[in-house]
Each structure stands twice: as C-alpha cells, then as structure tokens.
Chains A and B, each alone.
Chain A
Amino acid sequence: MTNERLHHTGKVVRNFLLALWALFALFPIFWMVLITFKSDAEMFTTTFAFHPTLENYQAVLFGTNYFKAFLDNIIVSSGAVLVSVLAGVPAAYALARFEFKKKEDLAFTILSFKFAPEILVILPLFMIYQKLGIYDTYFGLIWVYQLITMPLLVWVVRGYFEDISVEIEQAARLDGYRWWEIFYKMLLPLIKPGLVSSALLAFIFAWNSFTFPLLLTSFNVETVTVASLKYIASDTVHYGQMAVAATVAALPEVILALLIQKHLVRGLSFGAVKG
C-alpha cells in the first residue's frame, strides 16, 4: 500500500518536473508567435487577450528587405549543402571503404574545422576575400559555410556507408560491376534516407550561421540571422515586427527538424552516437 503510494507520488513528481521544463522550453516559442499578431498599440496594455492583426507580417515582409534576406539565406544555405554533398559523399565513401595512408589524420582534419574558432578563420578571410573580390558574394559565403556543412556530411555519411555490409559489395563486384557503378547504383540508394536527413541538418546549421554572414557580407548578401539583428540594435518600439523577424527565421527549421527525427541523434553527434 505505502509502496504503491510512493510509486504514485514518484510519477506525479516526474511529470511535474517534465512539465516545468516543457514550459521553459516551449513557452518562448509560443509567446513569440503570439505577439506577431499583436498590434503595437496593444503591446503594452494586454497580455493574452487582444485583437489579432497581420500588420506586423505586412510591415516586415513587404516593408523591409527581410524577404530578400530570407531568399539569400535559402540560396547560400542550399548552395553550401549542395557543394558539401557533391564533394563530401565521395570522400565519406573513401573513408568508409578504402584503407590508405593518413586516412584517420585526414578524417580528423576535416572534423577539426567544426571546432575551429570562427573568429580566427574570419579575421584573415575578411582580408583575403576582399583581395579576391569575393567579399559580400554568394560564392564567398557558400565557400566558408563548408566549414559548417562539410565535417557534418563527411562524418555522418561515412557512418552510413560503414553500416552497409561489405558482402553486398563483394557480390556485386563478382558480378562484374565497377566500384563506381556499385557506389552509384547500389550504395547511394541504400544510404539515401540517412543522406537526405544529414543534408537537411546541414542546411539547418548553415541557415543558423551568424558570425560568417555578419562579418563576410554587407549590402549585397544578407541572411535572416543578420537581418533580424537590426531589430535588436535599433531602439525599436515595434516589438511585433521583431517577433515576426524571429518567427519567419525560426519556423522553417522547426518544420525541418520534424522531418529528420529518426536521424537527428546521429547527425548531431557527427555519427558518434548511432541512434
């Protein structure tokens, strides 16, 4: 009897603590979306009950260059992921299937880009980019984004290749297929779900990048992370517009995150944890 009651109390405490954390984690998002529909006049006088309006969305998306920043962000992020997939997937295959000198050194060099302080890379790049004329261009940003997307793709996709048994490849080879035919016709379809998920996660990381676009671009190319900052910097009283900027930047990623659920652990840990 007392044991049962103890068990019950434990369950209540557990759920209470979880609910508390969920409130902390989710309320800011709810609040952000809520006040996007609040007019400036009602911002100070009301909390939850108010007359919803779309004027904030109108002001941000059509009144400023925020929409252009949104498109720019899509261009550089997907460009960066595309380059990383084209160059990184073969590299991942080589690391998974071939034995060669300096293999692990190369693999760790690629991983180490992930840990390099961004400012350390940016300071010299700022100068080099201006000399090369790629400062403030899509190309320049896509290139430097490789530091974010390449290590992720190489390390995660390598793990997916290693999961495929070598026997399948052996059998195909005996049937007379060349290594690149096997790679293209057999292995790629097999790793496709994992590859797509890692590419999407790489896209999220690139999308979220802030330091690189802040310092390596200015007027021509602007990402939403940088564009949103203007709403903090200026002494704005348009809190609703600030919230719209945040919502429009955040929601695509939340939706993408829902799509890659199953592969998330693996991607986030760069293949170290096979969820």
Chain B
Amino acid sequence: MSEETIKKSLKTGSRGAETSLTKVHWTVKARPYFIMAPCLLITVGILYPFASAIFYSLTNYSFRNPTWKFIGIRNWVYLFTDPDFWHSLLVTFKYAAATTIPQMLLGLGIALLLSKENWFTKILKVVLIFPLMIAPVIATLIWQLMTNTSVGILEKFLNLFGVYGFPWAASSHTALFTAAMIDTWVYAPFVIVLVSAGIQSLPKSPFEAARVDGGSAWFTFKTLTLPMLKPFMYIALIFRLMAALQEFAIIFALTKGGPGNTLMNLSLSGYNKGFAFLKFGESLTFVLVLWVIIYFISKKLVGDYLLTQKKAAGQEN
C-alpha cells in the first residue's frame, strides 16, 4: 500500500473514529463547513462586486449622473468597434510578453549559475531577492531617480559610451523597454527563487549515471535538467504571466499609460475610462475582457502544469 492510500484511509478513519458505530451525526458532517465559514464569509463579500460588474456593464451608469438605465449590450458593441480597445488589447499582450519571456529566461539562467555552491552564490541567494520584496511602485520610483536625465546615474553611465539623453520612459520608442526593465528588476528574482528550489530538489543519481555514460553537458541539460525543472518553471510562468497581463502599478507610476497611449493596457484603460472619464459601464467592459483572458489562460496553464507534474513524478519512480 502506498503512503498516499494509508494517509487517505487514516484521514477518513479520523473523521469516523468517534461515530463509526452509529450514523454520522450532521454536526460532524457540517464541521468542515463551519470551520471554513469565517474565511468564506469574508471573501464572498468580495465576490459580489464581480457579479455586479457584469450587471453594470449593461448599463450607462456613470459616477457623474446617478440616474442610470439598462442599455443592453450597447457598451459591448461600442467596445468592439473602439480602436482604443484593440490598441489596449495589443499593449496588454505586448507588455506580458516583454516582461514574462525575459524573466523566465533570466530566472532560469541565473538559477543555473547559482546552483554551484560556494560563498559567493550563498550570499547572492540571500541578497538577490531584495528587489522582489520592494513594492513595484517604490521600485518604479527608484528607477525614475536612476533614469532621470539631469541627476540620474544611468545618464552619466551612458555618457561614458557616448550616448546622451537616452529618453527612457519619455519616448514612445523606449517606454515599453523601460517598463519591462523595471518589471524584470522586480520580478526576475521570483523566477530565480522558484527555479533554484527546483534545482535543489533534483535527484542525484540520474546525473551521476549520465556522467558515467559520458553524456555532454548540453545533453544532460536538455534531457535531464530541463524536463525535471518543468513543473517549477510552470508555477513561475503561471504566477508571472497572470500578474503581467494585469500589471497596473508599474505602468501607472511610470507614465500613467503614456507617452500618448503607448503603455495603455486593459487595466490602465479600464481605470482611465472609469475614473478619469467617469464612464463606469464602459470601463467595466475593458476589465471584464481582461478577466476572461486571464481566466482561460490560467485554466490552460494549470492543466498543463498538473500534466507535467504527473509526468515528472512518473519519471522519478
């Protein structure tokens, strides 16, 4: 009998221990729900706004005039004919790609470099997580200082190479790069930490076998390391991608979506429509679309993750 089944039988046994002779009393059956009730009550209060969001997206409600009426799918029709929406959708995906891809690659690379244990990597493993703990808004503030053209240290650094007045967030050509750089500064450590934990959990024997067989470093990496790290990469990817698709803080603090509408993703557009233009019903359509995107991508990725986890477990046994 595997450990899992023993655990399971004990689990059911533990519940039935005192009542196994008679019928299970309803209070015992309801007990887990009672224990969970406070947690659910607190969070369900937050679910209501979500339901009301769908409703209000069908009205012309605005913060400016309190009288509103039901206007059916007019907001939705308007949404899909609105060039701003399609632009935001594109920016959302561009931003997600420009942040998630470098972070995954750098995270994997740095974690692999950190895998050799010595005093240097030991210290780095501790201090490299600092940026991750700093609030993204504060990180943006720090980088604003660094990239400032009059007092910023980066301007002085670039001057050494003969580059003067690099525009950073001020130009539509370099704004996405700047935002992605800040995002990567904050969140690459997240991937590093997760992949490092994965590397530490790798079993020794397959690698020894590969060495004895004279497998090249690249071969070992491709056929052993990478597949075994896959579950960890998936977790990092799920968390990073879901957050990158709805990033608000960094873009808001950096340019508020500008210059022009260069960085106007769905979150920023929803915010703008709602709070700057006070068109509540319209703004909800933007963020509801965002929610649908996140829901389906996360569902797909979690499914893939569970599959790779099963595969990785199968290979280990």
Residues of B within 8 A of A215 (CB): 271, 275
Q: Is B253 within 8 A of A249, CB to CB?
A: no
Within the complex, the shortest CB–CB distance from B128 to chain A, in Å, comes to 5
When A90-B35, A98-B31 are in contact, do A169 and B14 touch as well, CB less than 8 Å?
yes
- Is B207 at the interface (CB under 8 A from chain A)? no
B131-154 at interface with A (beta carbon < 8 Å): 131-146, 148, 150-151, 153
Residue of B nearest to A113 (CB): B43
- Is B288 at the interface (CB under 8 A from chain A)? yes
A3-39 at interface with B (beta carbon < 8 Å): 14-15, 17-18, 21-22, 24-26, 28-29, 31-32, 35
When A87-B42, A125-B49, A239-B145 are in contact, do A170 and B10 touch as well, CB less than 8 Å?
yes
Could you show 30 A-B contacts with beta carbons less than 8 Å apart? A32-B142, A44-B150, A87-B39, A90-B35, A98-B35, A106-B36, A116-B294, A117-B290, A123-B270, A123-B280, A128-B49, A143-B42, A166-B7, A169-B14, A173-B17, A208-B133, A209-B135, A210-B248, A210-B252, A225-B135, A228-B141, A231-B141, A232-B140, A232-B141, A246-B141, A250-B134, A257-B133, A261-B126, A269-B239, A275-B197
A79–B288 Cα distance when bound, in Å, is 30
- Sorting the interface of chain A by its residue count into under 10, 10 to 19, 20 to 34 or 35 or more gives 35 or more
- Is B96 at the interface (CB under 8 A from chain A)? no
- Is B260 at the interface (CB under 8 A from chain A)? no
A204–B136 Cα distance when bound, in Å, is 12
Given A123-B280, A254-B133, A257-B133, 10 more A-B residue pairs with CB atoms under 8 Å apart are A31-B146, A88-B39, A97-B11, A100-B32, A115-B294, A128-B48, A170-B10, A228-B141, A254-B130, A275-B197
When A25-B131, A87-B39 are in contact, do A268 and B138 touch as well, CB less than 8 Å?
no
* Among B74-82, B97-105, B185-193, B219-227, the stretch in contact with A: B185-193
Within the complex, the shortest CB–CB distance from A200 to chain B, in Å, comes to 11
Q: Is B148 within 8 A of A166, CB to CB?
A: no
- Is A57 at the interface (CB under 8 A from chain B)? no
Pick the contact of A146 from B42, B185, B190, B275 — CB < 8 Å? B42
Q: Is A47 within 8 A of B35, CB to CB?
A: no
A79-101 at interface with B (beta carbon < 8 Å): 83, 86-88, 90-91, 93-95, 97-100
B1-52 at interface with A (beta carbon < 8 Å): 7, 10-15, 17-18, 29, 31-33, 35-36, 38-40, 42-43, 45-46, 48-50, 52
- Is A258 at the interface (CB under 8 A from chain B)? yes
A166–B45 Cα distance when bound, in Å, is 34
- Is B312 at the interface (CB under 8 A from chain A)? no
A15–B311 Cα distance when bound, in Å, is 34
Residues of A within 8 A of B141 (CB): 228-229, 231-232, 242, 245-246
Pick the contact of B134 from A128, A154, A253 — CB < 8 Å? A253
- Is B262 at the interface (CB under 8 A from chain A)? no
Q: Is B42 within 8 A of A120, CB to CB?
A: no
Q: Is A110 within 8 A of B151, CB to CB?
A: no
Residues of A within 8 A of B270 (CB): 119-120, 123
Residues of A within 8 A of B284 (CB): 120, 123-124
Within the complex, the shortest CB–CB distance from B45 to chain A, in Å, comes to 7
Residue of A nearest to B184 (CB): A24
- Is A195 at the interface (CB under 8 A from chain B)? no
B contacts with A, residue count (CB < 8 A): 100
Q: Is A24 within 8 A of B142, CB to CB?
A: no
- Is B198 at the interface (CB under 8 A from chain A)? yes
Q: Is B246 within 8 A of A118, CB to CB?
A: yes
Q: Is B235 within 8 A of A269, CB to CB?
A: yes
A93–B188 Cα distance when bound, in Å, is 33
Residues of B within 8 A of A26 (CB): 127-128, 130
Residues of A within 8 A of B193 (CB): 264-265, 268
B244-259 at interface with A (beta carbon < 8 Å): 246, 248-249, 252-253
Q: Is B130 within 8 A of A25, CB to CB?
A: yes
A127–B15 Cα distance when bound, in Å, is 45
A127–B62 Cα distance when bound, in Å, is 10
- Is A256 at the interface (CB under 8 A from chain B)? yes
A275–B129 Cα distance when bound, in Å, is 15
Q: Is A97 within 8 A of B137, CB to CB?
A: no
A209–B156 Cα distance when bound, in Å, is 33
- Is B210 at the interface (CB under 8 A from chain A)? no
- Is A273 at the interface (CB under 8 A from chain B)? yes
Residue of A nearest to B38 (CB): A87
Pick the contact of A265 from B42, B185, B197, B295 — CB < 8 Å? B197
Within the complex, the shortest CB–CB distance from A28 to chain B, in Å, comes to 5
Within the complex, the shortest CB–CB distance from A141 to chain B, in Å, comes to 13
Residue of A nearest to B298 (CB): A115
B216-240 at interface with A (beta carbon < 8 Å): 232, 235-236, 239
Binary A-proximity of B263-304 (CB < 8 A = 1, otherwise 0): 000110011001100001001100110110011001000000
Q: Is A273 within 8 A of B134, CB to CB?
A: no
Pick the contact of B42 from A15, A24, A150 — CB < 8 Å? A150
A213–B63 Cα distance when bound, in Å, is 19
Q: Is B131 within 8 A of A253, CB to CB?
A: no
Residue of A nearest to B129 (CB): A257
Residues of B within 8 A of A126 (CB): 274
A87–B48 Cα distance when bound, in Å, is 19
A128–B61 Cα distance when bound, in Å, is 13
When A225-B137, A268-B194 are in contact, do A91 and B38 touch as well, CB less than 8 Å?
yes
Residues of A within 8 A of B189 (CB): 25
Q: Is A120 within 8 A of B150, CB to CB?
A: no
